[in-house]
Structure 1
Amino acid sequence: MALLQERKLEIFSEYQKHPTDTGSSDVQVALLTERVNQLTTHLKLHPKDFSSRRSLLKIIGQRKRLLAYVRNQDRAHYKQLIQSLGVRG
C-alpha cells in the first residue's frame, strides 16, 4: 500500500526546507521512514509475505545511504533528523 496523499503533504510540510521542496534528503528520508513503518506493521500481520520483506530491505538500504549522505554533509543536522524521525534509537 502506498502512502496517502494527505500523509505525504504532512511529511512535506514538516521536513521541507522551502515551500516547493519535495526532493531534499530530509524529505526523502522522512518518506522512506514512513514507508518502513507501514511495511513493518504489514509484515507483523503477514509474516510469509516475502516480496514485501524484500521491498522493506531495499527501502531500508536506500534510507541508510541517504542518512549517510546527510551525516557527511552536516553531523548536527543529521542528529536532529534521526531524533525527530525516531530512527536508530
Structure 2
Amino acid sequence: MTDTKDIKALQLHEKDTGSADVQIALLTQRINQLTEHFKTHVKDHSSRRGLLLLVARRRKLLEYLKRTSPDRYKTAIEKLGLRK
C-alpha cells in the first residue's frame, strides 16, 4: 500500500506536490482506500463512479510519464507496486 515514505521517495524536491510522480502516488493511495471501502459497502455506486474516474486519471498520468520520462515511470511503477 502507498504511504508517506513512498510519496517522499518520488518527490523531485522537498516541496514537490504537483509532479506527475507524486500525483500518481496520491491517486494510488486514494484508489486503495476506496477499494477497501467497497469491500464493506458493496452498493455504494456513486463512489464507484468516482473510483473509475480516479483510475482513468492515474492511467493518463502514467501514460504521460512513460512518454516523457521512461526512467521515472519505471521507478514509480516499482515503488508503488503497480503492474506494467
Question: Normalised by the size of structure 2, how large is the TM-score?
Answer: 0.87
Partner AA of 2:45 in structure 1? F
Partner AA of 1:21 in structure 2? D
Q: CA offset at residue 76 of structure 1? A: 2.4
Equivalence for 1:32:
27
Partner AA of 1:51 in structure 2? S
* Whole-angstrom CA distance in 2 between matches of 1:12 and 1:83: 12
Equivalence for 1:73:
68
Identity, % of aligned positions: 47
What is the aligned length? Answer: 83
Q: Which runs of 5+ in 1 are unaligned?
A: 1-6
RMSD: 1.9
Q: Which has the higher contact order (CA 8 A, sep 6+)?
A: 2
* Whole-angstrom CA distance in 1 between matches of 2:14 and 2:51: 30
Equivalence for 1:59:
54
* Whole-angstrom CA distance in 2 between matches of 1:23 and 1:8: 17
Q: Which runs of 5+ in 2 are unaligned?
A: none
Q: CA offset at residue 8 of structure 1? A: 7.8
* Whole-angstrom CA distance in 1 between matches of 2:43 and 2:66: 35
Question: Normalised by the size of structure 1, how large is the TM-score?
Answer: 0.82
Q: CA offset at residue 77 of structure 1? A: 2.0
Partner AA of 2:49 in structure 1? R
1:83 aligns with 2:78: yes
Equivalence for 2:39:
44
